[in-house]
Amino acid sequence: MRRVGWLVVLLGASLLACKDAPSTILLEIRAEPGVLPLDELRLSVLVASGIAVSGRRVPETGSPAIPGEVVLYPSASGPLRLWVRGLRGGVAVGEGTTLAVAEAGKQVRASLTLKPGTLPDGDKDGIPDAVDNCPALPNPKQEPCGPSGDLRPDAPRDAGVDAPPDLGRAEATDRGSADLPPLDGAKPDARRDGPKPDAKRDGPKPDAPKTDAAKPDAPKPKQDTRPPDTRPPDTRPPDTRPPDTRPPDTRPPDTAPAVGWHYRVAIQITSSNAAPLTNYPIVVPLGAAFAYGHARSDGGDLRFSTSSSGAGPFNLSHWIETWSVGGASKIWVRVPTIGAGTTTIYLFYGNPAASSTSSQAAVFPGRFVSTASLSLGGAQSYDWFELSPGHTLTVTAGAPLTITARKIVIKGSVAGTGAGHAGGTAGGGVGAGPGGGAFEVSSGSGGGGHGGAGGAGGYDGTGPIAAGGLAYGSATTQAIDMGSGGGGNNTAGGAGGGALTLRARDLELSGALTLAGADVTAGGTSGQCAGGGAGGGLLLLGYTVVVSGPVSLKGGQGGQCDGAGDGGGGGGGGRFKLFYQGSQSVTGTISLGGGIGGPGGGTAPGQPGATGSSHTGAATVEPTSVSLGPEVPI
């Protein structure tokens, strides 16, 4: 592919050229705020046939003066796509593009402005869309494109691309072009070369001197009518500098500061998880020691990146859950990968012109917020789980429910009464579950057991006595069970309460949670009554846990037989367990009492169930910890 030769000269503020200079492009380079200072400029020039100049440093040494001008000497007319990158610390911190059309014998003025960051590059070929001849197709060599946008090495040479409106402005300035001959292969132009000869105006042409005729078959040699090169000779002394012996630059490629942001804080995330955590929202806490005065008053200029320069650019989504100037603020940041050990990300702030990018949806794309009442059972996993006010979550009967999320918010009601082990069948049957209530033909049935034992059924004389179910499970381990059912008799026994596990980094429970054993309300003046179900189980695991709503894990009442009947025993209370790592607060009422027994029984009525258990303890729940480094001005 043919390459066009160039001569590039950097000037501080003005053009240095003589009157008879050939065609030139005078390119003015400016920069938006935040781009400067720069260590170097890199100029690329793209033409119809490819890349004529690729990343030439201007000036060759030293730092560039901005604003400044670059003079280009093209060897042919036609459109030029100009692309300039500004570098600091070896990293591009600003880019600008424009279009200019070289005209023979004229100087064309063009200008571009370096904008912070990098320009859009849709096809990821390293060429900004604004100067890419095939913006929809990777074409790093800028080979000619066919009419449909495909690469066509044999396609006719493109006349160039149209400059988008924001690429700058190029205009021609007459520099005495009338006395300059056309460039190689250029057609005569009256505006440039003057009018054609006219016999009426100029008189007859003088006779040309006769010369010896050439041989008929000998071609006439072409005469070079181009004027001599009048550019001044290069008088610069030869480069006598010694070779560069400095060690290679081992700095990471992202050490340049983010443009427009003036402060940075390193955030270290330490993970104890053996496997990498992916797309993991973490909490970045900002305390009173944070320099709130350097950030926007609402935190709208906060940005997060995996790069210390923000050269990702700001590639981490964040959401400001709470913002308290001078106090404690809480920001969630979604991190793509957190490996075992330490991972470092960066917080940037100090840009009053920035607008907020805080987004809960971006940090928790798998979040669930209820829009109606619902039923759930088994294991459920979310980024964020929220039960809205006025909605009821019903725990599926016989299926313990586990919800895992980074944050769980319960504002509505959880209904799990009787969702545990089933009661004994009507007509006689032991309650289901490890603590099922007993059944006897001639006495009331026992209540189910769980955190507390179930009450015995009422009886006449010496019995027999239907015992209540025994307590089972552990009060202090991170495991939870459903409540057991009461024994059946003249009706089915009461079912035990359901089991619910909530595990999250943060738990906020302000709604009512009911996982009680079912009551047996049927009775009579004769016969024997069924036992009540035992209370269920609630297990809470979180870094921070706040329980401000009521929790009911009480046992169900026994069947209300009286007179000649035998009352059923009440169900035992359930189990409440709370494990936390950072902090916990329980201001809601936790009900764990056993259910009352039925009054019937000549010798003894149905007995109440025993109170269930409650445990609060510290545990490692969150696998990551976060620490903030000092503020660094940038």
Average pLDDT over residues 594-598: 97
**Which has the closest alpha carbon to 46: 137, 122, 129?**
129
Q: What is the share, in percent, of the chain residues with pLDDT greater than 70?
A: 79
**Which has the closest alpha carbon to 283: 44, 633, 623?**
623
Residue 322 has pLDDT above 70, yes or no: yes
Highest-confidence segment of 39-43, 381-385, 461-465: 381-385
Give the pTM: 0.62
Domain boundaries 8-179, CATH class: mainly beta
The model's pLDDT over 496-543, given as tens digits with 9 standing for 90+, comes to 999 999 999 999 999 999 999 999 988 776 789 999 999 999 999 999
The per-residue pLDDT for 446 is: 98
The model's pLDDT over 382-426, given as tens digits with 9 standing for 90+, comes to 999 999 999 999 999 999 999 999 999 999 999 999 999 999 999
The per-residue pLDDT for 100 is: 86
The per-residue pLDDT for 4 is: 34
SS3 readout for 225-243: CCCCCCCCCCCCCCCCCCC
Over its C-alpha atoms, the chain yields an Rg (Å, rounded) of 42
User: For residue 581, what are the β-bridge partners?
Assistant: none
Residue 109 has pLDDT above 90, yes or no: no
Count CB atoms within 10 A of the CB of residue 61.
8
Mean pLDDT (the chain) is 83
**Which has the closest alpha carbon to 72: 5, 158, 145, 124?**
5
The SS3 of residue 323 is coil
The per-residue pLDDT for 223 is: 61
Structure tokens at 550: 């009521």
C-alpha pair distances (Å), 441 with each of 195, 330, 457, 461, 531: 128, 62, 11, 14, 13
**Which long-range CB contacts under 8 A does 325-328 form with residues at least 24 apart?**
325/292, 325/297, 326/288, 326/292, 327/287, 327/288, 328/285, 328/286, 328/287, 328/288
C-alpha pair distances (Å), 351 with each of 302, 348, 524: 8, 9, 77
Q: Which of 124-128, 159-163, 194-198 has the lowest mean pLDDT?
A: 159-163
The SS3 of residue 155 is coil
SS3 content of the chain, % helix, strand, coil (to 5): 5, 35, 60
The model's pLDDT over 329-364, given as tens digits with 9 standing for 90+, comes to 999 999 999 999 999 999 999 999 999 999 999 999
The model's pLDDT over 468-502, given as tens digits with 9 standing for 90+, comes to 999 999 999 999 999 999 999 999 999 999 999 99
Average pLDDT over residues 85-109: 87
**Which has the closest alpha carbon to 40: 83, 98, 85?**
85
Residue 311 has pLDDT above 80, yes or no: no
Residue 273 has pLDDT above 70, yes or no: yes
Q: Residue ranges per domain, the chain?
A: 8-179, 263-363, 372-548+557-618
Residue 12 has pLDDT above 50, yes or no: no
